[in-house]
Structure 1
């Protein structure tokens, strides 16, 4: 396990926030983020930047990028925000089946898109992102540890 891809609709809010949380907690992994409906090279949403800065994360250098086939091939795990996004990825890229999951799967939740919905919606989405990330961080830490111990043996 070395590459993780996080997806949302526009790559402006949810996926960059989730990627930042996951990258900090799992520095040995390469964490990418992308979106389905993207205007390339836009900055992250200003509210996302501010809320993440409050938590010590820097989204200032983030630029949006569209999902591409090389990302899907490179990723060992793909985390999406909504069930419908999982279906889209698996339909567009049939080889991705078995490695696409919702970020908040263990909570049984989609992470709703806060774009254009104000600060309360962003805070709610970020709470769900952080909770979902915690469950994945635990699982990925165990997987990475097992992989490293096999490499040493």
Structure 2
């Protein structure tokens, strides 16, 4: 049973807040939180991330970056990171979480996606196009993980419209 998911990125203002919000929206009975390996503590989500999530009907304006500390991964049933290096760093720093830490891109999303096994690049200070690409990958990872987590937890997965397809 998965009751608590921790999403980790570098600064906790771009990728992990978006992934946290999307997972929380899909997994109604699971607690989803985020933190950063080198968090910009107390900073809000990047304005581009706020805008992209707002376009999806999700408000992350209240998000504040948190530094990853030992109790967070220790109490999580699943830890999702953005790239291989972050996974290695966490497994080295917190040996007890081996077997519970994965890349968000490690879960095949669905048969229509071919992005299985991918890193999610950091869009920090790179503009909207970079954020859109990272968010596309985050959404693919969230789709797959939400189905897997719901299956393991006996929970329900809320369906959400794919904004990027409907706005084209």
Is the counterpart of residue 113 in structure 1 residue 122 in structure 2? yes
State the alpha-carbon separation in 2 of the partners of residues 85 and 32 from structure 1. Answer: 17
TM-superposed CA distance for 1:144, in Å, is 1.1
Q: TM-score, normalised by structure 1?
A: 0.93
Q: Deviations over 1:96-122 (max 9, x none)?
A: 100000001131100000001110000
State the alpha-carbon separation in 2 of the partners of residues 143 and 46 from structure 1. Answer: 34
CA RMSD in angstroms comes to 0.9
SS of equivalent residue, structure 2 residue 13: coil
Instruction: After the TM superposition, list the runs of 4 or more consecutive aligned residues in structure 1 that deviate by more than 2 angstroms.
Output: none
How many residue pairs match? The answer is 146
State the alpha-carbon separation in 2 of the partners of residues 11 and 72 from structure 1. Answer: 15
State the alpha-carbon separation in 1 of the partners of residues 97 and 21 from structure 2. Answer: 23
Q: How does 1:18-97 map to 2 (within 5 A)?
A: 18-97=19-98
State the alpha-carbon separation in 2 of the partners of residues 118 and 89 from structure 1. Answer: 28
Q: TM-score, normalised by structure 2?
A: 0.85
Q: Deviations over 1:68-114 (max 9, x none)?
A: 11101110000000000000000000001000000011311000000
State the alpha-carbon separation in 1 of the partners of residues 41 and 126 from structure 2. Answer: 22
Q: Which stretches in structure 2 are left out of the alignment for 5+ residues?
A: 109-115, 156-168
More helix by share: 1
State the alpha-carbon separation in 2 of the partners of residues 39 and 19 from structure 1. Answer: 17
SS of equivalent residue, structure 2 residue 7: strand
State the alpha-carbon separation in 2 of the partners of residues 74 and 30 from structure 1. Answer: 11
